[in-house]
Amino acid sequence: QQFQIESSFNNLIEQMKSRSTLNLLTQRLLEHDFGVDNAAEPPFRQPDPGEFPFPQSEIDSIVQKLKTNLSDSINEPLTNQPPPSQKLAEAFGYDYQTLSEDLKIQRVGESDLVSVEYEAENPRLAHFVVKTFVEGFFKLYEEDIFYEENVALKFHEEQLKKRRAELDSIVQLINDYKKQNDLIDPNAQRGSIVSHLKELESDLEDQRKTATALKAQIDILNRKVQQYTRYTGDDYADQLFLSEDFNRIDQQIKSLQDKIIERKAHGNRNTRDLESQIDELRRKQANYIAQGVPLNSELRQRVNEQVRSWIMETVEKKLDLELANAAIASYEAEIQRQRQKFDKLLQDDSYLAGLQEEKDRVEKEYLRVRSDYDATRLRAEGLKNPLALVEPVEFPYEPEPSKRALFTLFAGVAGGTLTAVLLFLLAFIDNTLQNAWRFSQIVGLPLIGQVPKVHEPVLELHQLFAKEMPEKELEMLKESVRKLRSA
């Protein structure tokens, strides 16, 4: 566990010292010194004009680029910002190498704290660097932490919008189709049409039975009339139908019959007003019939009242048959329209069922994507930055005290101590006889004298004492030997 903790802190410090992090600091320093951030403060540093090989046009271009980067940084992630100019950063001393050397980042002992220090000639610069560096790294670290969740959240958000648009499109298509085809509830509408069809078919059957009965009655009446006159009721009816007034009344009755059938087709059985109008028109027709039979005075003399009543009845039956046939045609046409409408409703229902099935599928997919989006959003909102600013960045009102004298004293003490240790070590390993005490300690006998070493390959003692030696070391040897003799 201790290794993991140390490894985590080392990785964090390396990330803080990374080139991308320090490039952001370089960017902010250049923006300040060129006045791009509108801080209204003097620049921290002014490069030497002789070592600043940038013409004014290039400086203007750099300033414009810095302004563009500053405005883009509001909406863009920090990692997407372009690196600053290397030569320009070196001219101001804001390049990566310089900042990495002056910016001290280290763990405080075995604690969970990391200290950030920066040494500069200007206290405002030191305060700005540390404050800007910490704020920028916090934002950068948050982007790294939230990157995966933000990417996932954006993906699910796009999928959610796509599924919502697809669902709205299908719902709009269903509503438009229902509106264009007057569809409210196709199942209920089909049931209503079936009910109307049954009623219309029942009325049609009644009209057909009426027409059949009228035909039989007309045939019987015609045979009765022909027994007394060469004219039939049909002849009188045909003559009446040629009358413009009679024909107008006939058309009005047929029109009212069509309206009655139309009402019944739409489920409205209240047709008393129309039936009253038909009764009134039938009474007018009866007057025309009474006035038109017989057709001339000659017939009027030959035909008695019984025959005249049969003729009038025949004409009335003929008129009823005409109206019944017209009603049959209207009923058949209306039934055909209702059946077509029923078939159209079947097609509409099938088409809407397909759309509804597609809507259910898309809605199910939309709910699934919505659930994934909500879960991802909750995870993203639950993430927290593990880093926190424990102590605010302090402004260095006083410079750090110089440690040169302390380092000199420490170097002197360390050098003297090392020299003494070295001398003691040399004395300890030296096995030569340096004094009489050392000789007595090693040999166990008292030292009565000492003879110096001479650099002569062969030396005779009688020659040494026979004459005075020119070499000084030989004279010293001779005196040492004499002392040994007298000891």
Q: Are 194 and 328 in contact (CB under 8 A)?
A: no
pLDDT at 299: 47
Cβ-based neighbours of 346, under 8 Å, separated by 6 or more: 190
Half-sphere exposure in the Cβ direction for 144 (13 Å, CA): 14
pLDDT at 297: 43
Query: Mean pLDDT of all residues in the chain?
Result: 78
- CA dihedral sign, ordered 259, 264, 266, 267: positive
**Chain segment 151-168, per-residue pLDDT in tens:** 888 899 999 999 999 999
Residues 399, 208: Cα–Cα separation, whole Å? 120
Q: Are 149 and 380 in contact (CB under 8 A)?
A: yes
Cβ-based neighbours of 478, under 8 Å, separated by 6 or more: 464, 465, 469
SS3 track for 89-143? HHHHCCCHHHHHHHEEEEECCCCCCEEEEECCCCHHHHHHHHHHHHHHHHHHHHH
**Chain segment 352-386, per-residue pLDDT in tens:** 889 999 999 999 999 999 999 998 888 877 777 77
Residues 430, 132: Cα–Cα separation, whole Å? 63
Paired strand residues for 114: 107
DSSP 413-459: HHHHHHHHHHHHHHHHH--S--SHHHHHHHHSS-----------S--
Confidence of residue 255 (pLDDT cuts 50, 70, 90): confident
**Chain segment 190-203, per-residue pLDDT in tens:** 888 888 888 888 88
- CA dihedral sign, ordered 32, 36, 41, 42: positive
Q: Are 247 and 285 in contact (CB under 8 A)?
A: no
Is residue 262 predicted with pLDDT exceeding 80?
A: no
Q: Report in angstroms the alpha-carbon separations of 49 from 33, 55, 57, 274.
A: 15, 11, 15, 110
pTM above 0.75, yes or no: no
Proportion of the chain in helix, strand, coil states, percent, rounded to 5: 75, 0, 25
pLDDT at 258: 78
* CA 190 to centroid of chain Cα atoms: 45
Q: Shortest CA distance to 106 belongs to which of 2, 12, 3, 22?
A: 12
Q: First and final CA of the chain: distance in angstroms? A: 80
Residues 236, 239: Cα–Cα separation, whole Å? 5
- Mean pLDDT of the 406-412 span: 77
**Chain segment 415-465, per-residue pLDDT in tens:** 888 888 888 887 777 767 667 777 777 777 777 777 777 777 777 777 677
Q: What letter would DSSP give residue 80?
A: G
Residues 246, 8: Cα–Cα separation, whole Å? 111
Q: Are 120 and 102 in contact (CB under 8 A)?
A: yes
Cβ-based neighbours of 189, under 8 Å, separated by 6 or more: 183, 345
Both tokens assigned to 222: 């015609």
Both tokens assigned to 463: 């020659």
Residues 302, 304: Cα–Cα separation, whole Å? 6
User: What is the SS3 assignment for 399?
Assistant: coil
Residues 477, 428: Cα–Cα separation, whole Å? 30
- CA dihedral sign, ordered 33, 35, 41, 46: positive
Q: Shortest CA distance to 327 belongs to which of 416, 209, 424?
A: 209
Plot region of 109 (φ>0 → left; ψ -120 to 50 → alpha; else → beta) = left
